[in-house]
Chains A and B, each alone.
Chain A
Amino acid sequence: MTATEAHFAVKYLREEALPTPFCPGCGNGIITNAFLKAVQDLGHEDLHGFAFVSGIGCGAWIPSPHFNADTLHTTHGRAIAFATGLKMARPELNVVVISGDGDLAAIGGNHLIHAARRNIDLTVICSNNYIYGMTGGQVGPTTFTGDRTSTTPYGNPERPFDLARLVAAAGANYVARWTTAHPVQMARAIRVALERKGFSFIEVLSQCPTAYGRRSRRGDAIRLMGWFKTLRVRKPDEPIHYQTPTAETLDLGVFADRNEKTFSESLAEIAAARR
C-alpha cells in the first residue's frame, strides 16, 4: 500500500460520518475493521445486499451511521427483534446485528436466546466490554463477580453470563468468541458467520478503557488488550464444560459449529408439504 492509497475499509464507510464518536483506545474500531475485512474477503465490493440493525449503546454505533449501507438504529435491547422482521420480509438480504453486551444480553437477552433457539438466519456480533459504557460504567450481566463499577463501588455480587456458551446452548449454528487482540481470528470467524445459514453469534471481547478499565482498575487500553492476549484458546472439538466466567479463565475459539435446520428452511418445508 502506498501512502496515497486509501484504507481498504473506507469504501464501505460514510466518510462524512467520520471520525467515529468512540473514545481513544476503544475496541470498536478494531471490530469495525475486522468486520469489513471479512466482507472484503467474501468478495463484496460494497455493502449492497446487507442490512444492519443495532440497538442502544456504544457498540450500536459501529454500523450506524458509519457503514455506507441500510442501517436501522432501534431501541434498547430490541435489535434482534427488529432484525427478525427485516429478515423475514427480505430473506435474500444479509441481515447483521452489531451491538453491545448491555443491549444484546441484558435488556435484550430474551431476544438473543430465542433467535438462537429459532435458528433464524442472522449474524449477530456482540462487542462485549463488560459494562454499560455509554451511560457511565454501570454493572451489567457480563460484569465479573467482584468488579467495581459505578453502581457496584465495592464489587459486583452477581455472576456474569458466558455469552458464547449461552448462545451455543440456546441452539445457534455457529458461535465463536475472540477479542480485539485477535483481529485476524475475529475476521475469519465473522466470515464463517456471514456464510453460515442459521443463527450465528460472534462475541468479541472489547476494551473500554473509559468506563470498564477505569472503574474496575484493569487499566488502560493496552493493559486490557494485554489481558485478552493471556486468554486460552480452545482446542478444536474440545468438549464444552460450563463454568462461571472469570477474567482469568475465559476461553476463546469456536463454541458451536453445526448446520441444523434454519427457521427459513423449516418454514419452506411446511409450505412445500401444503402444496
Chain B
Amino acid sequence: MTVVERVPTDKVVVEGMTGDAAIAHALKQCDIDVLAAYPITPQTIIVEDFQKFVANGEVKTRVIPVESEHSAMSACVGASAVGARVATATASAGLALMWEILYCAASMRMPIVLAVANRALSAPINIHNDWSDSYGARDSGFIQIYCQSCQEAYDTVIMAFKIAEDHDVLLPVMVCIDGFILSHNVERVEMLPTEAVQQFLGVRKPAIALDPDNPVTMGPLALTDYYFEFKEQQDRAMARVPEVFERVESEFEKMTGRRYGRFETYRVEDADIIIFTHSTPGGTAKAVVDALRERGEKVGVVRLRMFRPFPAEALREVLRNAKAVAVFEKCRSFGAPSNPLALEVRTALYDLDERPLVTDFVIGLGGRDVPPSTIVEGVEKTKEYLKAGRAPLYETLGVRK
C-alpha cells in the first residue's frame, strides 16, 4: 500500500469545468502512456482537451486518432498488453462498436479505463442521454461506476486506475457520466496536485506483459478444456473488487477527505419509500426528497455508483426496512419483465422473507428531461401501489402515450 498524505488546501486548484474536461484533466494527471479514441458526441471534449495537453508537451502520452471505436479499444488492448497505462473514451454507438473488444479487454484482464458519456442508441439517431449504451455492456466484464458530479468524475477516474491495476482485480473500468447533462455542464472541481495523483497511483506494474525476452501468448484458443476455468477466474476477480475498492477509496479519502462508496444513501434511516437511481437523476431525487420531507413524508434516496459488480448484499441491508423501493432508470430492456436496474434490485431483495415493494419507472430515454415532477409522480404512484398492495412490473414516465 502506498503512503498517502492529506493534500493541503493551498495545493488544491479549483476550476470550473465540464464533466468531459474534468475527466481529461484526471487522465492527464494519471500519466497514461497510450490513449486511442474516435470522435463521438458527447465524449469529444475529453479527447480534444487531452490532445491539447499532448500538443503542449504537458504529458508524454501517445495518442492514436484511430479510424473507429473498434480500432480504439483494440489499440488499447495492444498497448495494455505490453504493460502501458491506457485509457479511452466513447459513447452510444461508439461503445456498441467496441462490443467485441470489450469482452477481450476484460477476459484478457487489461486494466483499461474507459470513460463513457452515456448517450442513447440509434435508431432514430439521438445524441442525448440515457443509459442503454453502458447497460448493454453490463455483462462484458467491465467494472462500471456512474458519477453524479464533475468532481466525482474527476475523482473516480483517478481511483479507477488504482482499482483496475490492482493484481487482485486486473479488470477494465467504465467511468460513466450522463451525456450533455454532466459532460457539457460546468461545475466547481477541486483538482489535486499532479505529484499527489502520481504518488497515489504509482507506475503500473503489469502482472504479465508481452516482452520479447520472456515471450508469452495472450488470448489463444481455449475450448471445452479450459475456457470455463478462465471465466471462473474472471468471476473471482470481479468478486474481489469491493474489497479493493474500499481500500483504494480509504487511501483517496486520506488524501482528499472525499469518499463516495459503492452507493450513496440520503435520508434513508426512517424512510418508507426509497428512491433508487444513479448518475444525475440522483441529484434531482435528493432535491425532491428534501421537498417531500418538508411535507412530512418519509422518503429517502439511494444513489448507486457501482453497477458492476452490483453491491447486492450491502444494498439489501439498506433497503430491507423500507416499505417500497422506487427505481428510476433511463433504459428499457425490450421484452424483459423488468429493466436492468430494477432487475438487480429485485434480485438483491428476493431472498428476504419480507420484501419492500419494488416499482420500476423508465424515464428520460433519448435525453427527455427528468424534472423533479417526474420523480414526484413516481413516488405518488408508489404510494398508491403500496395502498393497493401490488404494482406493475414497470412503467414509463414522461412520455406521450
Q: Which A residues contact B (CB, under 8 angstroms)?
A: 56, 73-77, 106-107, 109, 132, 134-136, 138-139, 141, 150-154, 158
Q: Within the complex, which residue of A56, A109, A138 is in contact with B44, where a contact is CB–CB below 8 Å?
A: A138
Confirm or deny: B264 has a beta carbon within 8 angstroms of a beta carbon on chain A: no
Q: Which residues of B contact A56 (CB under 8 A)?
A: 93, 125
Contacts of A75 in B (CB 8 A): 93, 122
In the complex, how many residues of chain B place their beta carbon closer than 8 angstroms to a beta carbon of chain A? 21
Q: Which residues on B sit within 8 Å (CB–CB) of A77?
A: 68
| B235 at the A interface (CB under 8 A) | no
Chain B's nearest CB lies how many Å from the CB of A214?
14
CB neighbours (8 Å) of A74 from chain B are 123
Interface 9-mer from B34-42, B112-120, B327-335:
B34-42
Q: Verify A135–B40 contact, CB threshold 8 A.
A: yes
Q: Which of A109, A135, A151 contacts B67 (CB 8 A)?
A: A109
- A76–B93 CB distance below 8 A: yes
Asked if B51 lies at the interface with its beta carbon under 8 angstroms from chain A, I say: yes
Q: How far is the CA of A76 from the CA of B65 in the complex (A)?
A: 16
Shortest beta-carbon distance, A133 to chain B, in Å?
Answer: 11
Say how far B269's CB is from chain A's closest CB, in angstroms. 46
A135 x B68 contact (CB < 8 A): no
User: Please, how many angstroms separate the alpha-carbon atoms of A152 and B54 in the complex?
Assistant: 9
B325 within 8 A of A: no
Q: What is the distance, in angstroms, from A147's C-beta to the closest C-beta of chain B?
A: 12
Known interface pairs A136-B39, A138-B65; A151-B48 also in contact (CB < 8 Å): yes
Q: Residue B258 at the A interface, CB < 8 A? A: no
- Residues of the B chain whose Cβ atoms lie less than 8 Å from the Cβ of A73: 123-125
Which residues in A have their C-beta under 8 angstroms from that of B314?
A: none
In the assembled complex, which residues on chain B have CB atoms less than 8 Å from the CB atom of A158? 65
* Separation of A165 and B386 alpha carbons in the complex (Å): 69
- Least distance between A110 CB and chain B CB atoms (Å): 9
- Chain A residues in 8 Å Cβ range of B38: 107
B65 engages A151 (CB within 8 Å): yes
Could you give, for residues 212-253 of chain B, a 1 whenever the CB lies within 8 Å of some chain A CB and a 0 otherwise?
000000000000000000000000000000000000000000
Give the residues from 61 to 94 in chain B that come closer than 8 angstroms, CB to CB, to chain A. 63, 65, 67-69, 93
B positions within 8 Å CB-CB of A: 38-41, 44, 47-48, 51-52, 55, 63, 65, 67-69, 93, 97, 122-125
Shortest Cβ distance from residue B324 to the other chain A in the assembled complex, whole angstroms:
40
Specify which chain A residues have a CB less than 8 angstroms from the CB of B52 in the assembled complex.
Answer: 153
A134 to B44, CA, bound (A): 11
Q: Which residues of B contact A153 (CB under 8 A)?
A: 51-52, 55
Chain B neighbourhood of A150, CB < 8 A: 44, 48, 51
Contact B41 A139, beta carbon cutoff 8 Å: no
Contact of A136 among B48, B68, B123 (CB under 8 A): B48
A-B pairs with lowest CB-CB distance, top 6: A107-B68, A138-B39, A135-B39, A153-B55, A154-B55, A106-B67
How far is B102's CA from A106's CA once the two chains are assembled, in angstroms? Answer: 21
Is the pair A152, B125 in contact by a Cβ cutoff of 8 Å?
no
Q: How far is the CA of A152 from the CA of B65 in the complex (A)?
A: 9
B51 touches A135 (CB 8 A): no
Q: Is the CB of B39 within 8 A of A132?
A: yes
| Complexed CA–CA distance, A247 and B65 (Å) | 21
Closest to A107 in B: B68
- Given A151-B47, A151-B51, A153-B51, are A141 and B39 neighbors across the interface (CB < 8 Å)? no
Q: How far is the CB of A222 from chain B (nearest CB, A)?
A: 27
Q: For B40, what are the chain A residues with a Cβ–Cβ distance below 8 Å?
A: 76, 135
Knowing that A107-B97, A150-B44 touch, tell me 19 more A-B residue pairs with CB under 8 angstroms.
Answer: A73-B123, A74-B123, A75-B122, A76-B40, A76-B93, A76-B97, A77-B68, A106-B68, A107-B67, A135-B40, A135-B41, A135-B44, A138-B39, A138-B47, A141-B67, A150-B51, A151-B51, A152-B55, A153-B52
Q: In the bound complex, what is the Cα–Cα distance between A56 and B39 (angstroms)?
A: 12
Nearest A residue to B64 via CB reads A158
Q: A76, A109, A154: which has the most chain B beta carbons within 10 Å?
A: A76
Q: With A and B bound together, what is the CA distance between A106 and B68 in angstroms?
A: 7
* Residues in B whose Cβ lies below 8 Å from that of A109: 67
Q: Which of B51, B65, B68 has the most CB of A within 10 A?
A: B65
